[in-house]
Amino acid sequence: MRPSLKIRNTFSRDYEGTPTAGAVKVPVRNTDVTMRDYDIKNGIGLEQSTTSYLTVPIDKNKGLNELIDGYEAAAVPDNIVAQRLESAAYSSAKTLEDDAIAALLAKNTASTQPDSTKENVYENIVKDIANIAKLGVDKNRMYVAISYDIESLLLTDEKYSNTASQIGAELAREGVVNKINGVKVITQDLGENVEYIVYAVDWCQKVDEWKVNPVIVDLTNGSDKYIGASALKGRFVYENVVTDAKAVIVKKKNNLSDKVSIPNEETELYGKTVSDLASNLKVQSDGKVTGTLNYVTGYTDFSSNEEEQSGNYFPFSLEVTGTNMTFKKNGEVSKENISFEKNNVFRITSKTDKFEVLVDNESVITFDFSETELKTAAKSRSRK
């Protein structure tokens, strides 16, 4: 059998009501019971429960109905029965699994870790595990689902590869391939650009108590259309839901090259070339800029304000397109809804500066210059 149901099998079933009624109620509790001081004389006041109930409609209704021509149900060869039932089991399980992953991707908290490499992938996952653990979630109630690409990176990490053989047979049967910082790890195809998902199972619910498992039935009896034919049939009515976005952290690739780039050295921007302004510039996936910004003077085409005609300047190109741009410096709007331009220059006054770029009101990137070398007038040849 091809493995398929991994993530959905870890979801909880904690609801009230009957799925066949069309909806169930899932308890949602975002805080724990408060422990308070007890007054011997006056006792302690009652506190309102913070548990509420989320009504979840059961609206996923899937089925399969495949004709097996030439055979009545009792006469279908065993090899065809086995092959079609195996295929039906895989297809139905994959649909359930994909919908469970879709639920995780629909309601979550985005990871703030940089794109994973073989040097930082283990640390990235450990940090996101810690972010959920800080909410008071037991690590035994957490899972990490990783893509196959991330698994390849992790296998080059000694901390990860050295513990893979310690997973017992029972966990292996459940699809667990390892543990990271005490949290069970599952491999799965998570979809385009998704590196990993860290989630707490108590806030991930599945409802699937109504189903007709795949079975081969005869179509000849009572039919005015089919003779000597049978069909593979099955039906599933179910739902998956995440009740708290804080309980799920999703790490997606930033695909920075699709958003911004550094122009080539010969590109001229307001009368200065990129090589006049900077050298060895790179933008990391988290927006941090590395390299050197030269100290430039006489940059008259950059600004008519004399005070802004010297200093450090950061050149960049936008790979996205749009109509208008807005720039924010350290959270404050510096230019709003100006006409879109592919090539741009920022004047950087401090390593603490952060510039956010929005195109048509959608944030593209926030540049961070904390790791950028800013040359001063005494250390850099003047540019004219």
293-313 per-position pLDDT tens digit = 999 999 999 999 999 999 999
- Answer for the pair 133, 141: CB distance below 8 angstroms, yes or no: no
Q: Give the lowest-confidence range in 3-12, 25-34, 326-335, 349-358.
A: 25-34
Summarised one tens digit per residue, pLDDT across range 42-66 is 888 877 655 666 777 777 888 888 8
- The count of residues in the chain is 384
Of the pLDDT bands very low, low, confident and very high (cuts 50, 70, 90), residue 1 is very low
Tell me phi and psi for residue 92, to 5 degrees.
-70, -40
Residue 12 lies in a domain: no
Q: Give the lowest-confidence range in 9-18, 179-188, 255-264, 349-358.
A: 9-18
Q: Does the pLDDT at position 4 exceed 70?
A: no
Mean per-residue pLDDT, 96-125: 92
Question: Domain boundary at 215, 230, 252, which?
Answer: 252
Q: Does the pLDDT at position 325 exceed 60?
A: yes
The C-alpha angle with vertex 193 and arms to 187 and 197, in degrees rounded to 5, equals: 45
> 268 and 357 share a domain?
yes
The C-alpha torsion from 204 through 205 and 208 to 214, rounded to 10°, is 10
Residue of 95 and 315 predicted with greater confidence: 315
Q: How many CA atoms lie within 13 A of 2 on its CB side?
A: 13
Q: Concatenated DSSP letters for 49-73?
A: ---EEEEEE--EEEEEEEEEET--G
Question: Domain boundary at 252, 267, 296, which?
Answer: 252
Question: Domain boundary at 234, 252, 270, which?
Answer: 252
Of the pLDDT bands very low, low, confident and very high (cuts 50, 70, 90), residue 211 is confident
In total, how many domains does the chain have? 2
CA dist., res. 9 & res. 200, Å (int)? 13
> 232 and 311 share a domain?
no
> 94 and 208 share a domain?
yes
- What residues form DSSP beta bridges with 180? 183
> 322 and 286 share a domain?
yes
pLDDT at site 384: 44
Token duo for residue 90? 């895989």
List of residues 6+ apart from 55 with CB closer than 8 A: 23, 24, 25
Quote the distance between the C-alpha of residue 363 and its chain's center.
Answer: 17
Tell me phi and psi for residue 159, to 5 degrees.
-60, -35
Residue of 11 and 66 predicted with greater confidence: 11
Of the pLDDT bands very low, low, confident and very high (cuts 50, 70, 90), residue 333 is very high
pLDDT at site 165: 67
Residue 221: DSSP 8-state: T
Domain that holds residue 275: 256-374
Mean per-residue pLDDT, 59-87: 75
